[in-house]
Structure 1
Amino acid sequence: MLRRHRHAARLTLEQLAEASGVSARTLSDMERGRSKGPQHRTVTALADALGLADADRRQLIELAREGRLRDHWNRPTGLCELPRSVDDFTGRSPELAWIDELLHAGDAGVGLITGSAGLGKTTLTVRAAHALRPGFPGGVYFLDLFGMSAQPLPVNEALSLLLRALGSTEQQIPPDVAGRASLYRSLLRERRALIVLDNAASEEQVRPLLPGGGAGKALVTSRRLLAGLEGVRRLGLGPLPPMEATELLTGILKERGASDDDPALWQLAQLCGGLPLALRIAGNRLVSRPGWNAADLAARLTNEERRLDQLSAGDLKIATAFGLSYEQLAGSTRRVFRRLALVPGRTFDAALAAVAGGMPTEGAWDALDELVDLGLLQDSASGRYRFHDLVRLFARDRLRAEESAAEREAVTLTVTEWLLRTATSAGWWFGLGSGRRDHDRAGPSTAEEADRWLRVNVDNWLGALRQVASRGGHAAVIDFAMSVVHFSDRWMHAVHWSDVYTLGVEAAAALGDLSRQAAQLNALAWVQLTSGGDMEAALRHTAQAMELAVRAGSTEEIASAHHFAAGALRRLGRLDEAIEAQSQAAELFKADGDIDAYSHCLGSLGSCHRDAGHYEQALEQYHRLWDLVNDDASGLAPSTVAFSRPVALARIGECLGLLGQRSEAISKLSEAIGLLEQAQLPAVQAGALETLAALLAEEGRPGESRQAYARAAEVYEVTGDADASSRCRDLANAAS
C-alpha cells in the first residue's frame, strides 16, 4: 500500500524521505515487508507527506497498528529482561536524578556510569530503569556484556540478542556486525526504548551497541572509564556517604528481628568504607546469623588481617569482586598495584609508585592510568593517587600471596629509604652550614620544589620515618630530624613536628650524640611554643637540653636552650626572666657568628619588651632586626631573610600602633600582610590582620576594618585557631 501511494504521488524513495523526515532505509524496509508494524508517528508523517485523504490515511495507519500488534505477539519473549530491583535500595538520590534528567533530555542519548568493583553501578542502573519504564513504551532491555570475564560478550552476539529482543526474526538479522549495527540503530531511531548495557569491557565492544540518535536511549555501566567513547554523558560513582551506608545496613537488617545499636551500625558502615557490596555482604551475614549482632561483626572487621575474609556471604565475596579487576591487569601493573600496599601514607604520586614498582616514572604513569581506568585506584587533579581502604587490603593480600617475605621486606626497605633520603635532601635546602652540601643528593632541585615536596608528601615521609625508627635506623632518623629544623619554621603549625623531634631525641640518645640530642630537645620546646602547648614542658625540655649541651660543649645548643626557655617564660608571664634569657641567647649566637639565630633572638627580645609594656625598647629591637634583614652584607641565609623580613615589618607596625602612631602603623601592617601571605606565614598574617582591623576601626574606617576582620577570621581558620577565627568573625559582623 505504501509503495502504491508513493507511485501515485510520483515520488522516489529519496523524495518521500526528504518530505516526511523518515529515512530512506526505513521506507525501503516498510515497502519490502521487513518492517510490518512501524511506529504511529512514522506513519502519520508519511501520510502527511503523501497528502492522503481521510479514508486512505485511516487505512494506512490501521495497517501499521495491526502490524505492531502482530509483531508484539510474535516477538520472542524473555530476551534481555531487566533484572529485579532490590527492595532495600538506599540513597543515590543525586545519581538517580542525574539519570532521570539525562534520559528526558532531548539531545542526550547515552549515559555512562563508571566506578570500581562493589560500588553498586548495576544496582543503581537497574533501579533507575525500573522507575523510568513507563516512559519507554518501546521496552526496557538489559544486557550483561561480561566485561570482567576472560571472554567478554562478542559484539555480533550482543547485537543478535538485542535485535531479537527488539522483535527481529533470525531471518531479518544480517550476518555481519556492520549490518546488524545499522539495523539496530534504525530500530531505536523510531522506537522509544531504553537499553541497559551492563559491565562493558571496552569502547570497541560498546560503540556498535549505542543508539545513533532518535527516540532510543542507553545506559552503560563499566569498571573502566571508557575514555574513548564520544558523545556520552559520564557519571563517576563513589562510595555511599556514612549516613546512607548506615541506612542501607538498617534496611537490610529490618526483617531479622534482632536489635542493633546505631553506633555499632555506624562503625560497621565505616569499616565497609561505604562500599554497597561490602555493606550488602555484612548485612546478609547478620541476617543469616540471628545470634550475632552488629557489634560482633564490627569487632571481627576491626582486624585488618581478617577483614576481607569476613566480608563473605555465600557466593558474595568482596575479594572476588576486586579479583576480577585485578585479573585484567598486565603483569607489571599487578606488581605495582601489590607493592603500593607497602607505601606509608594514604596518598602517593607517580615517582613513589615507580620506586615501589621498580620501574621508570614513565612506566609508573602508564600503570597508574590502568589502575585508575579499572577503578582500583582513585586519582585527583593534583597528581596524587589513593586506594579505597578495602582495595588496599586486597592489594596487601595479593602481595603476600604472590611475593615472598624477603621480596616484601626488600620493597619496604627501598621505599622507606628513598622517602627518607629525599625528605632529608629537601630539608637541607632550608638548613645552614654543612647541610647545604647535601643539595647534591637526589631530590628537589630548588627550595620551592623542596618546600612543596615536604608538604605534599608529609604522610609518606612521616610513615617512612616511623618505620625506619622502629627498625633501629637511628642515624637516618637523626639526619632527617636535623635537616628539617629550619624548614619547620616555615610550616610551624603542622601537627607532626612533635613526633618528628621525639623520634629525633630517641635516635640521638641511642647513638650517644649529646649535642644532637640537645638540639632535638630544643626543637621539642619549640613545638610547645608554636602550638601554644605546655610551657612548663617546654622549660623541662630546655633544661634537659642545657644540661646535655654543657656536657657536649655545644655553644649553639646552649644558646638555643636560652632562646626557647625565654619564649616559654614570656608566655608564662615571667617577663624579666624572659628578657634576661633572650639577651643571653642573642649574645651567645652573635659571639658564635650565628647571625641567623641572632636575628631570631632580636625578634623574640622585641616581643618580650612589647609584652612587658616597653614599647620603645620593643620597637628598637624590631628596627635592629629590620636593618639586619635588609643588609645584603649581613650574611643571613636567604630563607631567614624571607621569613624574618615580613615578620619584622609586622611587629614594627604593631608597636607603632601601641605607641599611638596609627597612620604609620596601618601603612606598615598593610605592606607586611602581603609579604606574609607570599611567605606562607598564616599565623603571623592572621595576627597582623586582626591588629590592622582594630587600628582601622579606631581611625573611623569601618568598611576596611570589617574586611580585615573577615580576612583574619579566614586565615585563623586555616591555622586551626577556631576561637580566634570566631572572635574575628564576630568583630567583622559588629563592624557592619
Structure 2
Amino acid sequence: MEARVSDRSFGQQLRALRQSAGLTIEALAEASTVSGRAISDMERGRARAPQERTLVALADALELGDAARAELVELARAERSGNRVGRPRLYELPRGLGDFVGRVPELELLLRRGREAAADGPTPVVVVHGQAGVGKTACAVRAAEQLRGEFPDGQFYVDLRGTDAEPMPTVEVLDRLLRALGVKPGAIAEDEQERASQVRALLAERRCLLVLDNAADEAQVRPLLPGPGAGMAIVTSRRTLAGLETVSRIALAPLSPPESAELLRKIVRDDSARAPGGEVVEVARLCGNLPLALRIAGTRLASRPGWTMKNLAERLSDEDRRLAQLSVGDVGVEAAFALSYAVLSSRAKTLFRRLAHVPSVDFAAPIAAVLTRTDLFTAEDELDRLVELGLLQHEGADRYRFHDLIRLYATQRLREEEPAEVRAAAEQSMTDWLLETATMAGRWFEPEAGEPPAEGKGLVAIASPEEAHAWLQVERDSWLAALRLAAAAGRHEQVAGLGEAIYWFAGTMDHWSSQWVEVFALSRAAAARLPDRLGELRHLNHYAWAVLGVGRLEESAALAMEAYRLAESLGAVKEQAEAIWSAGEVWRVASNLDQALWAYSRARELADTAGAHITFLQSFVGAGLTLAGLGRVDEALREFRAVLREIDGRPVPPGMAQATRAAVQLGLARTLADAQRWQEAIDAATPALASSTEMGRRWYIGHVHLVLGRAHAALGAAEQAREHLTAGIELLQDDVVTSPRTMDEAKAQLAALGD
C-alpha cells in the first residue's frame, strides 16, 4: 500500500512522484533544469526542501496536477519551517530547556526585534552577552523557539567555539551556512569575502533566523551577519562585542533569588520534603544565582534520592570546595570560568588573580594598580578587558565587582599560581596603601587640618575635605578590612596612626556607630603596645566616645575615668580635660545630671588652662544641656549664648566652629521647646536645621526635626508638624543614643495628629 503523503518527507514524496512519472533522476534534471545532484540530495534528505522557483520547475517537469502540486508545495514549506518530523537539517537549533525560568524582559526584547524584521529594512542583530554560565545560549534558543513561526525559511544554529583555544574560522562557518542554505559544495566560493556575499545574498531573499552562539570576537562575527532583509541574527558571547555597529545588546545577569529558587524546584521536581523554602534560597545564594551552577546543584540533588537540600547547602558552604561541588558529568562551573581565564594575557591573569585580595565587595581602579604595580591607566584598561570577558562586572560608573563564584575561582588561581611570599607581598602592598590613603583622608577633618603634602596625593584625588569624605565612605569596607589585617599582623603604628587620624571624621558619621567601636578598639589595643603613653591616653578617650555611641554607658564612663586618672598621673592637663568631658557626656546621657554638671565645670577649667579651645566650648554646650535637663532654663540659655560669643572669640577651626554652633542652636531650640516657648523654639531650630543639613549630621538633623514637629503641633500647624515629626523619626529610628522615651513620645504625637 502506498504511504500516505502525511507520513512522507518532501524527499520521499519527490522520489515517489518521479518514479510514478517513469523518470530517472537524469531525465528529471534535464526536464526541470535542476541539477541531478540537487535532486538526488533532496530525495535522500541531504538537502533542505527547495524554494518556490525550484518547486515550480520540478512540478512542471513532473506534469503534476493541482492536488499533487499543492501537496508537494505544502511538504516543502512544512520542512523549511521545521514543522516536519524527519531527518534533521544541517545546523538545527539545539534542544531547548523544558525547565527554562526567568529572562522575561530579555525575551520580550528579542521577540519584538524578531517580529519587527521587515524585508526592506536592516536585518535586526541582537548580541546577548554575559559571564560564563549565565545562560546566554539557553536564552537565545528559547527566543528562537518562540520565533519559529516568524522565520518559515529556516533557523540555523552554529557554535562558533569562541572560548576554544582555536575558535571556528569564519570561512568554515560561512561554508557550513551556505551548505545549510542549500548551496551545492561546488558552487561555494573559496574566498571568505565572497562566501560572506553569498550568505548575504541568500538571506536577503529568505526569512531566516541565525543563532551564532559563543562568538570569540567582532572579527569572527562581522562577516556572518546578514545584510538588509527580513531575517534576524542572535549572537551570544562572553564579550560585549562593542565593535559591532548597529546592533542591540542584552546583558544577562544572574537570576533573581526568586527565579533561582523556582529553577531549583523545577529541577528537583518541587519535592518540598527534600527542599523546604529556606534551604532552597540558601543553595541559590551559594550558587550565586548563576544558572549553570543552579542547574548543576539541582541535578546533583535530583540524582541522589538520599540527599536533601540541606545536605547540598552544607556541601556548598565550604568555600574551598564549592567549585568542586558544582560539577557534574562533563559540565562544571570551574571549567566554564577556566575557558575565559585561558584567553587572558599574562598581565590580565595576574590582575584577575590578585583582585582576590580585595576585601570589599566592590572596588575601583586604584587598588588594581596597587596590586599589580602599574599606573592607573594600565589598570583601567586591564579591568575593562576582564569586564569584556565577563570575569568582572561594572558596579556603577567607575567601580567593579566579582560574581561570588568567580571570586572563588580567582582565589583558587591565586593560591595555585603564585608563591606564598608573592601573595603576602601583594596583600601587604594593598593594605599599606589603603591605610595610608585613609590616614591622609582622615587628616582633613582634624581641627588644624591643612592640605596634605604633595607626595600624599597618589592614585586618588583627595585634595579637599569633600573628596576625603567621599573616599572614606565609598572605600569603608576596604580600609576597615585593611585595619583588621594590620592589627592581626602586629603593625601597631599603622593601626594607631589611622585611629588618631580618623577620630574627627568619625564625629561626622553618627550612623557608623558600631564600626567606630571596632576601629577604636583596635587602635586602643595598638596604642597600648607602643611607648607613647599620651597616645595611649588619646586612644582610650576615643574608645570611650565610641562605646558611648552604641549606648554602652557604664563602660564608657569607666573608660573615661580611667583615661582621666592616667592623664592626671602623667600631668597631661589637656587630656584630663578631654577625659572628664567624655565622662560628663556619659553621665548626662545616663541622667546623672549633677555628676555631669560637675564634670563639665571641671573640664572647662582644665581646658581653659591648657588652651584646649574645642573642649572648652564643648563643656559649655554640655553644661547648657545638663542645666536644661535640671529645669534650670534661664541658666541653660545663658550657657548657650555664652558659647556663641566664645566661638567668635577663640581660635577654633571653621569646621569645628560650624559643628559647635549647630550643637548650640539645637540645644537652644530643645530647651525653649521644653519650656513651651514654641515660637522662640522655631526661631532657634530653623537656623539649626540649615546648619545641620549643611554638615550632613544625621543625628542633629533628626532632633531638630523633632523640635520643629513639637513646636508646630503646639501652635496648631498640623501639616508642618507631621512633616517634621515623620522626618525626625525616620532619621533616628535606628539610633542607639536617642532614648526610647524620646522616640515613643514623637511617635505618639505623630499618631495624635492623624492623617
Q: Provide the TM-score with structure 1 as the length reference.
A: 0.85
Contact 1:545 1:558 in 2 (8 A): yes
Tell me the equivalent position of 2:542: 523
1:491 to 496, 505, 509: 509
Shift, 1:499, TM fit: 0.7
Amino acid at match of 2:718: P
Amino acid at match of 1:492: D
1:612 to 618, 624, 630: 630
Partner Cα distance (1:90, 1:187) in 2? 35
Amino acid at match of 1:600: Q
1:250 to 246, 254, 265: 265
Counterpart check, 1:543 vs 2:561: yes
Shift, 1:602, TM fit: 2.3
Counterpart check, 1:218 vs 2:233: yes
2:640 to 622, 625, 641: 622
Tell me the equivalent position of 1:179: 194
Distance 1:505 1:71, change over 3 A: closer
Counterpart check, 1:462 vs 2:477: no
Partner Cα distance (2:80, 2:397) in 1? 54
Shift, 1:700, TM fit: 3.4
Partner Cα distance (2:735, 2:375) in 1? 38
Shift, 1:352, TM fit: 0.9
The more displaced of 435-444 and 83-92 is 435-444
User: Which runs of structure 2 are paired with 1:277-676 in the superposition (5 Å)?
Assistant: 277-432=292-447, 439=453, 442-443=456-457, 444-494=462-512, 495-531=514-550, 533-629=551-647, 631=648, 634-676=650-692
Shift, 1:554, TM fit: 2.6
Q: Secondary structure at the match of 2:507?
A: helix
Q: Secondary structure at the match of 1:490?
A: coil
Distance 1:609 1:350, change over 3 A: same
Shift, 1:535, TM fit: 1.3
Tell me the equivalent position of 2:718: 702
Distance 1:138 1:628, change over 3 A: farther
The more displaced of 248-257 and 162-171 is 248-257
Contact 2:130 2:390 in 1 (8 A): yes
Distance 1:232 1:476, change over 3 A: same
Distance 1:162 1:666, change over 3 A: farther
Partner Cα distance (1:709, 1:258) in 2? 48
Partner Cα distance (1:660, 1:294) in 2? 62
Q: Secondary structure at the match of 1:197?
A: strand
Partner Cα distance (2:387, 2:322) in 1? 23
Deviations 1:111-170 (A, max 9, x none): 222111111111222223223323332222221111111222222222222233233333
Distance 1:506 1:302, change over 3 A: same
Tell me the equivalent position of 1:79: 90
Amino acid at match of 2:178: L
Partner Cα distance (1:218, 1:105) in 2? 13
Amino acid at match of 1:97: E
Counterpart check, 1:94 vs 2:110: no
Tell me the equivalent position of 2:59: none
User: Which runs of structure 2 are paired with 1:224-263 in the superposition (5 Å)?
Assistant: 224-254=239-269, 259-263=274-278
The more displaced of 373-382 and 633-642 is 633-642
Q: Secondary structure at the match of 1:541?
A: helix
2:290 to 265, 272, 275: 275
Contact 1:271 1:302 in 2 (8 A): yes
Deviations 1:195-219 (A, max 9, x none): 2121111122222333334321222
Structure 1 residue runs without a partner (length 5+): 1-30, 44-57
Tell me the equivalent position of 2:169: 154
Q: Provide the TM-score with structure 2 as the length reference.
A: 0.83
Partner Cα distance (2:105, 2:739) in 1? 32
The more displaced of 571-580 and 349-358 is 571-580
Amino acid at match of 1:442: G
Deviations 1:299-320 (A, max 9, x none): 2322222222222222112111
Shift, 1:355, TM fit: 0.2
Amino acid at match of 2:337: F
Deviations 1:236-275 (A, max 9, x none): 1111222222222222223899824443332222111111
Counterpart check, 1:684 vs 2:695: no
Tell me the equivalent position of 1:46: none
Contact 1:194 1:217 in 2 (8 A): yes
Tell me the equivalent position of 1:139: 154
Partner Cα distance (1:734, 1:95) in 2? 48
Contact 1:142 1:198 in 2 (8 A): yes
Contact 2:117 2:231 in 1 (8 A): no
Shift, 1:706, TM fit: 3.7
Deviations 1:63-99 (A, max 9, x none): 9969966995999953121111222223333333333
Distance 1:196 1:70, change over 3 A: closer
Partner Cα distance (2:751, 2:348) in 1? 54
Distance 1:577 1:197, change over 3 A: same
Shift, 1:328, TM fit: 1.7
Distance 1:254 1:609, change over 3 A: same
Partner Cα distance (1:526, 1:612) in 2? 24
Distance 1:233 1:726, change over 3 A: farther
Contact 1:38 1:64 in 2 (8 A): no
Shift, 1:347, TM fit: 1.6
Tell me the equivalent position of 1:54: none
Partner Cα distance (1:172, 1:726) in 2? 88
Q: Secondary structure at the match of 1:111?
A: strand
Deviations 1:278-332 (A, max 9, x none): 1222223333433433323322322222222222222112111111111121111
Deviations 1:515-562 (A, max 9, x none): 33332232222223333x221222222233223333333323322222
Q: Secondary structure at the match of 1:221?
A: strand
Partner Cα distance (2:112, 2:463) in 1? 50
The more displaced of 675-684 and 93-102 is 93-102
Contact 1:191 1:215 in 2 (8 A): yes
The more displaced of 313-322 and 424-433 is 424-433
The more displaced of 473-482 and 645-654 is 645-654
Contact 2:81 2:152 in 1 (8 A): no
Q: Count the aligned residue pairs.
A: 685
The more displaced of 714-723 and 583-592 is 714-723
Partner Cα distance (1:301, 1:449) in 2? 41
The more displaced of 714-723 and 573-582 is 714-723
Partner Cα distance (1:315, 1:73) in 2? 33
Structure 2 residue runs without a partner (length 5+): 1-32, 39-47, 57-65
Partner Cα distance (1:286, 1:196) in 2? 32
Q: Secondary structure at the match of 2:490?
A: coil
Deviations 1:563-584 (A, max 9, x none): 2222221222211111111221
Partner Cα distance (2:217, 2:732) in 1? 49
The more displaced of 707-716 and 507-516 is 707-716
Distance 1:179 1:560, change over 3 A: same
Partner Cα distance (2:739, 2:190) in 1? 71
Tell me the equivalent position of 2:25: none
